[in-house]
Structure 1
Amino acid sequence: MASTAASASSMPSGRLQTAGPGGRWLIRIEHRLEAERAQLPLWMPVALGGGIAAWFALPDARGWAAFLCAALAVALAGMVLPGHTRIGRAVGVGALLAMLGCMLIWWRAERVAAPVLARPAVVRVTGRVERIEPLPARELVRLTIMTDPVASLPRRSPGSGREGGSATGDVSRLDSDPRQNRQAAALPPRVRVNLAVPDLPAGLATSARIALQARLMPPASAAVPGAYDFARVAWFQRIGATGRGFAPVEVVAPGDPGNAGLRTRLTGHIVSRLSGSEAGIAAAFVTGDRGSIAEDDAEAMRRSGLAHLLSISGLHVTAVVVATMTVVLKLLAMFPPLALRVRLPVVAAGAGACAAVGYTWLSGADVPTVRSCIAALLVLAALSIGREAITLRMIATGAFLVLLVLPESLAGPSFQLSFAAVTAIVALHEHPRVRGWFLKRDEGTARRMARGLMSLLLTGAVVEAALMPIGLYHFHKAGLYGALANIVAIPLTTFVTMPLEGLALTLDAVGLGAPAWWAVERSLSLLLWLARSVAAAPGSVAALPAMPDGAFAAMVAGGLWIALWRTPMRRWGALPLIAGAVWALMTPAPDLLVTGDGRHLALRTVDGGMAILRDRAGDYVRSVLGEGGGVEGELPPLEDQPGVACSPDLCVARRDGRTIVATRSGYPVPWNELVAACAKADIVVSDRRLPDGCRPRWLKLDRAMLATTGGVAVSLRSGRVVTAKRGGRHPWEVPETIAPPRPPYRERRVGRNGGVSDAAR
């Protein structure tokens, strides 16, 4: 009886009554979870995010439904584990949250559904201006327009394709004259156009109704595997077309600028007080407008690991809140009767909360700013009730709330970078050993400063290690010296530049801000010098080709395991973390990259670089192909490489025993020559539909094939082929499209060899 009582008392709270090896394993897990019971709530946003990630990763509705059924089965299994133990509750709740995440993002994607432009077209756009984004560095202004509805033009059903397929109904037109139809074309409900600054009407404000001619195109999918998928981002923003607008722009009705007008005026005021990229960075700190920053300086900020300073997030919101609380506390403490009767810290926290909300509203309420505002409000609430403010539970609560409201943000780098950084910082300083290292001590000034410097250095190194996989996955590059640069840049921004800028704006009210603006410009010049110096340092950037999704998922899982547990079992997180890192590093860079339109390709050179087919390609195409190939620097012309022969219309290259043929102009190649070249080639690439007689030995990547596969990455030695489109059925991959009528007559032109080609081809 005594032994029975002793064994019963040693059982966990759930009283596991199982025997055998399986029962012993359950008992061990139960003991582990009992020791980590305070950490279990931290996994709630992880489970919710896991369901969201599964929806993005799985291809279609059958996969999503299968995931929901599997999660439900796991939840039911958790309920029937012996004794309703902690492990059963954890498994059940985690599975239910994963189900919730998958259903939430599925519902959200369907809720924001809006038709997408079927094909590029020149149309007349009429509608209400929703947002104005100045881009002075590019001499452009970006307008987001809510278009006027026109219901009489055909729409294509989801899955019918943007170029092919039939409309869902009869083609009805507004007028029998096709030229009038072109003027009254139905458009997606929201479009985004860029205007040259001289073409912008004076006094244009948000909510104004305008009319203009524009060349629009559907939101672009990823150009090559692993590249930025704007079509997905545009879907959740309900943007159905983007393009370039032309003068004249007619203002049909004036608008009310509201907070956007205040932002525009404030940005203009800041830019007028400073010059160059310093003006753009100063405006970014206050209004979030980065359009005045020169592209070279923006790239230097990215390469040096300082780009996070340009996005209004936790650093900026924290600086505003702390400054507001400090000023309010100092002012109220000057009145002793008030200080004796009122809890001044609570009043200051309320003022800080108002400042955080106002700053978020002023800066345009972008997703990173909203996340930071939510976190700041949670910290202020904890301070007001006397709780520890900055903890992993607060971070988990913020992440959970953001995912409930904006589940699609999980797939974006902004969410991942911000929460990874703050989680790494808090987890590091909650570790007992690290906390012991940096506790305040009664010691000399030199030792105290050295301890603070080591704390900053260690924190920066851990943050860079946490952010590097995310940067490499999304941008294919990551700064290596960011920890050192941030040791100087973050204090400089937080304690010098932003307070000086606030002082300058305040003094401008009485016309005395010039000295403060001079100091602001000097501090920003120092920041830019730091960014340029770090970016130019040898080996400042690590470049990597497109990372496999599985490798990234393994590193994220390992990092979360290490950060969220507290007992020695956290060390097991090193296994998936190392496995994912090795997997990513061992993934070979592609030898051939082809964009989804077939116009551009990059081929691996003998020295390991990438050479581009069309040397007149734009900067965006060059950067996409360079990042996809994991190379830094300029891409030389393909025709200058050894083993490559090019004519004005065709290039033939030989690499690793393979022959690649690519068309490089819009002129037709004589049929006999083209068929003969195809027969000798392993891979043929073209931005046009090639004849059936063109039969290469391996891959025929013409317009028809690339419309199905999207961009393609090929490893010539291993024969590995990766496509940007993987047969998924997410809403942005098979959207409902809306098709403006075509021009009444197609322009035709005479080719170089006498053939006639369609200009729309």
Structure 2
Amino acid sequence: MGGEVASARADERMQFTDTEPAPVAVDGCAPAPATEARALRSYEARKIPNHGARPVAAGIRFAIAQEVARGTIFLWLPVLLGSGALIYFALPVEPPAYALASGLALCALAAHLAGAKARLRLALLAGLVVLLGLVAAKVETWRASTPMVGSDITTRITGRVLKVEHRADGRFRLTIDILSTARPQLRYAPERARLSARTIPPDLKPGEGLSGLVRLMSPSGPVRPHAYDFSFESYFDRLGAVGFFMREPARIALDHPVGLLQRLAARLQAVREALAARLREKIGGAEGNVAAALITGLRSGIPEEVNEDLRRAGLAHVLAISGLHMALAAFTIIGAARLGFALFPGFSSRHPVRKYAAGAALMVCFLYLFISGAGVAAQRSFLMLAVMLLALLFDRAALTMRNLAIAALVVLAVSPHEVVGPGFQMSFAATAALIAGYAAWNRRRERAFGRNSAEIELSGARRLFRLVLVYAGGLALTSLIAGVATTLYGVWHFQRASPLALGANLAAMPVVSFVVMPLAVAAMATMPLNLDGWALALMGRGISTVMAIAHWFSERTPFDATGAIPLSATLSLSSALAILTLTTTRLWLAAVPFLLAGGVLLANRDLPDMFVSEDARLVAVQIGDDTLAVNRVRPNGFSMENWLRAAGAGTVRKPAGSKGASLSDLLADQSIGRFLCNQSLCVLRHPEGMRTAHVKKSDDAATVRRSIIALCASVDLVVVNDPTLDRQCSEDGARIITARDLARRGSAEVRFSEGAGMPHIAFAIREPYRPWHEHRQYSRASRGLGPYRRKDRE
């Protein structure tokens, strides 16, 4: 988050003001000083005098002309391209290829025929870019075509190890390319799976063969509507199944041929894991795992309590390989190289040592990109730095905001699905806000300097104090701007905010910037000579300090969960953010309506009253007083954590009752706000009068049917954990959600209508299925079948 400061400051003077036209870059190359001036003079010459009429419209036209002259239109290309990708992934049905191709052809033809009609042509070109975003997403989906298992199954696999991750609980997580299956041999086997294991063969490395008995399961859907979709991410990560080894796998020799790219990928992954193992060994403890995450991107070994402290304190961005790490690594290399060249003044006077330092930094960042796993934030950071360093190598100027646009275009062209993920949204939002914020600050500073142009001589002590003050103020401003820009997406994706993030970043980021990351670069440089012990020891102490700061602020955070926010509010505020960061004139006022609309939508949000898991086993009901009542004594931890944040709740109320209680006893009980359960069902009376029931899975179908008939007239909503039962109540009876409904359409949110009215049920997945959900239709539950039971042998 804070690492983009350097790149923002590097070119902040290239930003423009409304009253002082400045040079603009043409195609990201050298600035053309007269471009904007010529454009504005041409506009003034063509403008028809309005004699006082329509002054607002004339001002808007003049502002648009300024934006065009400054090259701002290029910055909107990734916004339009990303909007097209978002539209594709939000569509209720899969768009046919011929429709997209026809739309592209028609838009291109219409734009060509528009001729001199500039506004119409601009609108058509914008539509063309949006359609290109849809096409890019469609092509990526077609290229993935990941086969995914439809039902849980136990089989024996033979595969090639791609990744070995050490988890904090002592288990291992393996990513494996499946080469064959046996007993039973799967007709539609997944090509890749992510499997956990208690133990693995010693010194197992990527590229080696592995065989064992596994339980394969389908990637699950969202735990609630609009939540993180594991099926979606697994589809684009080429993961067709998840699961676990039922006993220790065995290392085997493989005779399958391996391509060059596969060998290189295996070798790179082996280097990453060996480096992570060395960091864990040398530093030790949680600090070693954090160091492995900072350098290699492997985060699975970090204890959950450390992750939670960092999240609550607003320091989770420290673990993400982003602009912070990439920029610090680059500037450390540049500074060290320039310092080394300064020791040889004769050589430095005859050679462009600045370019040599930039070239060295570019190579180091390129290696860091692959060593760190090449996440979307790392890709964005590397692309931005690469453009800046290449411009330095070739004596060309580059605008920082244009660098960001180029990076976004590359990421969207290669991986359009990233646009819906939190990594892409938070990374680009923070960087765009920082660049725009520092550009505005620089304009204000230049105006103030113009009014007070007299130079002031400062003593050494005062100069140092001013430098410290400027750094602290810049860090605070950086944390504030980036925090505001990313809070929206943190609340949308995770339903959590960090109110003390500003203080935590002010305390922790100097340690990261001046201790942790420079020592990480020093450790990597001295590691080949086995002289990295001192650097890693000091780096571990720096990480320990950051962890202590995170823990201190985490304990004092007044709140964490924010509750779910509507999609309409997120889209409205995102539009406002785009306008505020990408405009350089008074057109930023166009963001005000979007800000107001987003605020109104947030103020009038309607939080869910009830959550139902997609396996029909877990039900949670919001009963007020910051509490969710659940029907299970041991609910699923991940689902409950997500539901608590979405409901803005903080506590869980477990069920009560006895196995011997009858249905009439449960219905007659006057207890409010708690599930009352017997052996086959649970009933809850809501404080506002609604009643909810959950019918457990049972081998006695006749008893379950009688229970449903009795509940139809007594409760408002019934959840039945049996896919074979599809009985519905009469029109004036209770609503029923069966296990088959949930298997086909995913988890559900329920909102109870005020007064008399049927509950409103929203499922997480729509039909007909998109490609990443097509496997759901093949599960036994979605077909109305019970669990598989092996026939007894005679």
Same fold (TM over 0.5): yes
Structure 1, 25-34 or 271-280: larger mean CA deviation:
25-34
Contact 2:216 2:241 in 1 (8 A): yes
Mapping of residues 395-434 of structure 1, within 5 Å: 395-431=404-440, 432-434=442-444
Among 646, 652, 656, the residue aligned to 1:639: 656
Looking at structure 1, the residues matched to 45 and 89 of structure 2 have their Cα atoms a distance apart, in angstroms, of 36
- Tell me which residue corresponds to 2:595: 577
Looking at structure 2, the residues matched to 554 and 569 of structure 1 have their Cα atoms a distance apart, in angstroms, of 17
Change (3 A) 1:377 1:344: same
CA RMSD of superposed structures (Å): 3.4
Looking at structure 2, the residues matched to 420 and 532 of structure 1 have their Cα atoms a distance apart, in angstroms, of 27
State whether structure 2 residue 136 is matched by structure 1 residue 117.
Answer: no
Q: Offset at 1:624?
A: 2.4
Show structure 1 runs of 5+ residues with no match: 1-8, 151-179, 750-761
Q: Offset at 1:585?
A: 3.8
State whether structure 2 residue 268 is matched by structure 1 residue 259.
Answer: yes
- Tell me which residue corresponds to 2:620: 602
Structure 1, 184-193 or 14-23: larger mean CA deviation:
14-23
- Tell me which residue corresponds to 2:91: 58
Mapping of residues 36-115 of structure 1, within 5 Å: 36-37=67-68, 38=70, 39-62=72-95, 83-85=116-118, 87-115=119-147
CA deviation vs aligned residue, 1:536-593 (integer Å, no higher than 9, x gap): 2142425122x32222111111100011111112022122123123313421211111
Mapping of residues 167-206 of structure 1, within 5 Å: 181-182=183-184, 186-196=188-198, 199-206=199-206
What letter corresponds to residue 789 of structure 2 in structure 1? R
Contact 1:120 1:215 in 2 (8 A): yes
Q: State the percentage of identical aligned residues.
A: 27
What letter corresponds to residue 624 of structure 1 in structure 2? N
Q: Offset at 1:60?
A: 1.4
Looking at structure 1, the residues matched to 457 and 189 of structure 2 have their Cα atoms a distance apart, in angstroms, of 69
What is the TM-score with the length of structure 1 in the denominator? Answer: 0.85
Looking at structure 1, the residues matched to 621 and 407 of structure 2 have their Cα atoms a distance apart, in angstroms, of 45
CA deviation vs aligned residue, 1:681-719 (integer Å, no higher than 9, x gap): 210012213645562724211112223432111111354
Change (3 A) 1:342 1:476: same
Secondary structure at 2:332 match in 1 = helix
- Tell me which residue corresponds to 2:233: 233
Contact 2:312 2:557 in 1 (8 A): no
- Tell me which residue corresponds to 1:144: 175
Change (3 A) 1:672 1:599: same
Mapping of residues 580-659 of structure 1, within 5 Å: 580-632=598-650, 634-639=651-656, 642-644=672-674, 645-655=676-686, 656-659=688-691
- Tell me which residue corresponds to 1:344: 353
Change (3 A) 1:27 1:99: farther
Change (3 A) 1:442 1:409: farther
- Tell me which residue corresponds to 2:741: 705
Mapping of residues 446-461 of structure 1, within 5 Å: 446-461=465-480
Mapping of residues 354-433 of structure 1, within 5 Å: 354-388=363-397, 391-431=400-440, 432-433=442-443
- Tell me which residue corresponds to 2:789: 746
- Tell me which residue corresponds to 1:537: 556
What letter corresponds to residue 710 of structure 2 in structure 1? A
Contact 1:129 1:207 in 2 (8 A): yes
Contact 2:158 2:180 in 1 (8 A): no
What letter corresponds to residue 529 of structure 1 in structure 2? A
Q: Offset at 1:300?
A: 1.2
- Tell me which residue corresponds to 2:505: 486
CA deviation vs aligned residue, 1:496-552 (integer Å, no higher than 9, x gap): 11223444555666666555444323222211111112222142425122x322221
Secondary structure at 1:452 match in 2 = helix
What letter corresponds to residue 470 of structure 1 in structure 2? Y
Contact 2:630 2:653 in 1 (8 A): yes
Contact 1:438 1:451 in 2 (8 A): no
State whether structure 2 residue 724 is matched by structure 1 residue 722.
Answer: no
Change (3 A) 1:670 1:79: closer
CA deviation vs aligned residue, 1:273-295 (integer Å, no higher than 9, x gap): 22332111111111111122110
Change (3 A) 1:70 1:550: farther
Contact 2:561 2:645 in 1 (8 A): no
What letter corresponds to residue 679 of structure 1 in structure 2? A
Q: Offset at 1:341?
A: 2.2
- Tell me which residue corresponds to 2:10: none
- Tell me which residue corresponds to 1:522: 541
Structure 1, 185-194 or 353-362: larger mean CA deviation:
185-194
Contact 2:498 2:557 in 1 (8 A): no
Contact 1:212 1:247 in 2 (8 A): yes
- Tell me which residue corresponds to 2:722: 688
Q: Offset at 1:238?
A: 1.4
CA deviation vs aligned residue, 1:418-462 (integer Å, no higher than 9, x gap): 111111111001115454499898653434433332222122111
Contact 1:481 1:540 in 2 (8 A): no
Q: Offset at 1:248?
A: 3.2
Q: Offset at 1:11?
A: 7.2
CA deviation vs aligned residue, 1:343-393 (integer Å, no higher than 9, x gap): 111111111111011111222223332222222211211222344556211
What letter corresponds to residue 689 of structure 2 in structure 1? G
What letter corresponds to residue 50 of structure 1 in structure 2? S
Contact 1:598 1:706 in 2 (8 A): yes
CA deviation vs aligned residue, 1:447-497 (integer Å, no higher than 9, x gap): 443333222212211111100110011111121221221122222112111
Change (3 A) 1:43 1:630: same
Contact 2:629 2:654 in 1 (8 A): yes
Looking at structure 2, the residues matched to 117 and 17 of structure 1 have their Cα atoms a distance apart, in angstroms, of 66
Contact 1:661 1:678 in 2 (8 A): no
Secondary structure at 1:498 match in 2 = helix
Secondary structure at 1:204 match in 2 = coil
Contact 2:563 2:648 in 1 (8 A): yes
Change (3 A) 1:425 1:19: closer
Looking at structure 2, the residues matched to 49 and 463 of structure 1 have their Cα atoms a distance apart, in angstroms, of 21
Show structure 2 runs of 5+ residues with no match: 1-39, 450-454, 658-670
What letter corresponds to residue 84 of structure 1 in structure 2? K
Q: Offset at 1:406?
A: 1.1
Looking at structure 1, the residues matched to 502 and 787 of structure 2 have their Cα atoms a distance apart, in angstroms, of 60
Secondary structure at 2:753 match in 1 = coil
Secondary structure at 1:60 match in 2 = coil
Contact 1:182 1:743 in 2 (8 A): no
Q: Offset at 1:128?
A: 1.3
Secondary structure at 1:479 match in 2 = coil
Contact 1:543 1:627 in 2 (8 A): yes
Structure 1, 659-668 or 58-67: larger mean CA deviation:
58-67
- Tell me which residue corresponds to 1:555: 573
- Tell me which residue corresponds to 1:272: 281
Q: Offset at 1:90?
A: 3.2
Count of aligned positions: 705
What is the TM-score with the length of structure 2 in the denominator? Answer: 0.82
- Tell me which residue corresponds to 1:304: 313
Mapping of residues 303-342 of structure 1, within 5 Å: 303-342=312-351
Looking at structure 1, the residues matched to 601 and 305 of structure 2 have their Cα atoms a distance apart, in angstroms, of 33
Contact 1:679 1:694 in 2 (8 A): no
Among 691, 701, 709, the residue aligned to 1:675: 709
Looking at structure 2, the residues matched to 670 and 739 of structure 1 have their Cα atoms a distance apart, in angstroms, of 23
What letter corresponds to residue 724 of structure 1 in structure 2? A
Change (3 A) 1:620 1:748: farther
Q: Offset at 1:721?
A: 2.9
Looking at structure 2, the residues matched to 437 and 619 of structure 1 have their Cα atoms a distance apart, in angstroms, of 55
Change (3 A) 1:501 1:41: closer
Change (3 A) 1:389 1:528: farther
CA deviation vs aligned residue, 1:52-86 (integer Å, no higher than 9, x gap): 1111122113599778877877776666668433x
Looking at structure 2, the residues matched to 55 and 422 of structure 1 have their Cα atoms a distance apart, in angstroms, of 25
Q: Offset at 1:398?
A: 0.8
